[in-house]
């Protein structure tokens, strides 16, 4: 089954995959359909059928087509949300960059329908985060979690999640990740060389090519412990050609991100059996320092938690003031934040953090 | 009724996705997308810039390996339908 999921994910990337000679039985097909949905490769699975690579019964074909239509319909609604948010924020003088789903779909795929996405992610400038949230809330958006302390999002956070009046998720980002490795990223680099794409007759800007590839790497390496196949595919599709990798390597070093990209390339090799060409490939063999290993453990191990990530971030922060303020935000968040996270009392919050550091409990 | 000189173009804000041979279309005024048939989807795809009906007919005929005469009536019908949906306009 995993070979078939991998073949579907590699559609259009690798020519010589092995496909089944005849349709799967119903039990195996149901397992495949669940895996396809989990890995968000619905469009690719349907495309493999249409290309004559994946043999299916009529019923199985109808199920894959229906799933593809459903996720494509959601993508259209999300594209509209992106245009609406862009227009709304622009009317208040706030610019944004599209991240992940819509950007990758429209810039890196010949056919955007092959890239599924379930939410909208946009990048804002740190100084615009608070104003953007006010504008969005005024127009019916609701914040999912409160920030730990006033100003936390703009200074330390990756961003925040809101839900739209229609129930779709909108993530507004300040940077590409949270934790140790995020503090190496100069967020002004993210606004260099942006790439435009057309959407519904309008123009939306996304991260530039090097930054978009690095975002895919950071998402793969620091997001879920086992990233989705679609994230792996994003890495391949956004990878710069060998002759243009110098700019990416310079950014990786400026962001102190060798361990992150190294882990992403290892995952790419393990999950898709794909190795990128060019100088970047060597990073797959990067040997992390002990601090990098600790930071990766804090972010993606079974013991990962907010508390472990704060501790692991300390050596990566520039200056004692940032360290003290981050620790204070983690130890003494606002009461409304504690309540929204299900831990009302200050002592209970501290106990929760200590337990998570000891590996006894996840704090999310 | 198309007078032959009109140029058809997509309306701003219309979003689309190809799903196999068919096309999902979300127009600005609608809450939900509509699913176009393969034929209507081909007409939509042909109106990616301001074009005359004759050009749309030629493009659709090429897609389906048919003559312009064979597809002309259907294309005219689909253009009217797309206009009614709010997906295309003419000037």
Reported ipTM: the value is: 0.89
How far away is chain B from the Cα of A201, in angstroms, using its nearest Cα? Answer: 5
Q: Hey, are the CB atoms on B20 and A46 less than 8 Å from each other?
A: yes
Cα nearest neighbour of A46 on chain B: B20
When pLDDT is averaged across residues A61-81 and rounded to a whole number, the result is: 96
Which residues in chain B touch residue A80, judged by CB atoms under 8 angstroms apart?
13, 15, 26
Q: Hey, are the CB atoms on B16 and A76 less than 8 Å from each other?
A: yes
How far away is chain A from the Cα of B83, in angstroms, using its nearest Cα? Answer: 16
**Cβ-proximal residues to A321 (8 Å cutoff; 6+ apart), any chain:** none
User: What are the strands of the beta sheet with A142-143, ordered from one edge?
Assistant: A142-143, A159-163, A169-173, A119-123, A97-99, A202-206, A195-199
What is the C-alpha separation between A136 and B19, in angstroms, rounded?
32
How far away is chain B from the Cα of A61, in angstroms, using its nearest Cα? Answer: 11
For the segment B45-66, what is each residue's pLDDT rounded down to a tens digit? 999 889 999 999 999 999 999 9
Task: Identify the contact set of chain B against chain A, taking CB-CB distances under 8 A.
Answer: 10-20, 22, 24, 26, 32-33, 35
**Cβ-proximal residues to A69 (8 Å cutoff; 6+ apart), any chain:** B19, B22, B24, B35
Predicted local confidence at residue A363, as pLDDT: 47
What is the C-alpha separation between A99 and A176, in angstroms, rounded?
9
Cα nearest neighbour of B13 on chain A: A200
Predicted local confidence at residue A343, as pLDDT: 66
When pLDDT is averaged across residues A323-347 and rounded to a whole number, the result is: 71
What is the C-alpha separation between A150 and A138, in angstroms, rounded?
19
How far away is chain A from the Cα of B45, in angstroms, using its nearest Cα? Answer: 13
Using the Cβ of A42 and the Cβ atoms of chain B, whether some distance falls under 8 Å is answered with no
For the segment A3-18, what is each residue's pLDDT rounded down to a tens digit? 899 999 999 998 877 8
Cα nearest neighbour of B48 on chain A: A201
Query: What's the whole-model pTM score?
Result: 0.89
Confidence grade of residue A245 (pLDDT, cut at 50, 70, 90): very high
Phi, psi (rounded to 5 degrees) for B52:
-80, 165
Using the Cβ of A128 and the Cβ atoms of chain B, whether some distance falls under 8 Å is answered with no
Contact in structure between A363 and A298 (CB atoms under 8 Å) = no
């Amino acid at each position: 089954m995993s070979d078939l999921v991998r073949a579907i994910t590699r559609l259009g990337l690798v020519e010589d995959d092995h496909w089944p000679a005849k349709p799967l039985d119903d039990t195996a097909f149901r397992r495949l359909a669940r895996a396809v949905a989990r890995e968000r490769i619905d469009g690719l699975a349907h495309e493999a059928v249409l290309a004559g690579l994946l043999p299916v019964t009529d019923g199985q074909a109808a199920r894959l087509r229906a799933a593809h239509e459903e996720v494509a319909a959601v993508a259209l609604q999300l594209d509209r949300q992106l245009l609406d948010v862009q227009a709304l924020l622009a009317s208040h003088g706030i610019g944004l960059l599209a991240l992940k789903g819509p950007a990758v779909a429209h810039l890196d795929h010949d056919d955007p329908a092959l890239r599924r996405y379930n939410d909208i992610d946009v990048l804002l400038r740190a100084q615009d985060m608070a104003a953007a949230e006010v504008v969005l809330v005024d127009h019916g958006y609701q914040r999912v979690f409160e920030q730990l302390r006033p100003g936390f999002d703009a200074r330390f956070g990756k961003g925040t999640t809101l839900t739209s009046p229609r129930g779709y998720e909108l993530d507004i980002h300040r940077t590409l990740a949270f934790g140790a490795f995020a503090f190496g990223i100069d967020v002004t680099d993210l606004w260099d060389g942006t790439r435009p794409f057309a959407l519904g007759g309008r123009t939306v800007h996304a991260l530039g090519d090097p930054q978009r590839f690095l975002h895919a790497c950071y998402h793969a390496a620091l997001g879920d412990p086992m990233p989705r196949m679609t994230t792996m595919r994003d890495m391949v599709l956004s990878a710069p050609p060998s002759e243009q990798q110098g700019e990416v390597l310079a950014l990786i070093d400026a962001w102190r991100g060798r361990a992150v990209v190294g882990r992403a390339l290892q995952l790419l090799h393990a999950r898709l059996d794909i190795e990128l060409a060019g100088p970047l490939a060597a990073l797959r063999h990067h040997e992390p320092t002990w601090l990098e290993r600790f930071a990766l453990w804090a972010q993606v191990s079974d013991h990962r938690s907010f508390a472990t990530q704060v501790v692991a971030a300390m050596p990566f922060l520039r200056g004692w003031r940032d360290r003290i303020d981050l620790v204070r935000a983690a130890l003494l968040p606002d009461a409304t934040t504690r309540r929204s996270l299900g831990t009302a009392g200050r002592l209970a919050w501290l106990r929760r953090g200590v337990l998570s550091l000891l590996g006894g409990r996840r704090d999310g | 009724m198309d007078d032959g000189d009109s140029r058809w173009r997509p309306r701003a804000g219309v979003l689309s996705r190809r799903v196999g041979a068919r096309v999902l279309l979300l127009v600005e005024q609608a809450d939900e997308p509509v699913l176009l048939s393969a034929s209507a989807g081909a007409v939509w795809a042909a109106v990616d810039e301001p074009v005359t009906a004759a050009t749309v007919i030629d493009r659709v005929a090429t897609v389906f390996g048919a003559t312009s005469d064979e597809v002309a009536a259907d294309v005219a019908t689909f253009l009217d339908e797309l206009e009614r949906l709010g997906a295309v306009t003419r000037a």
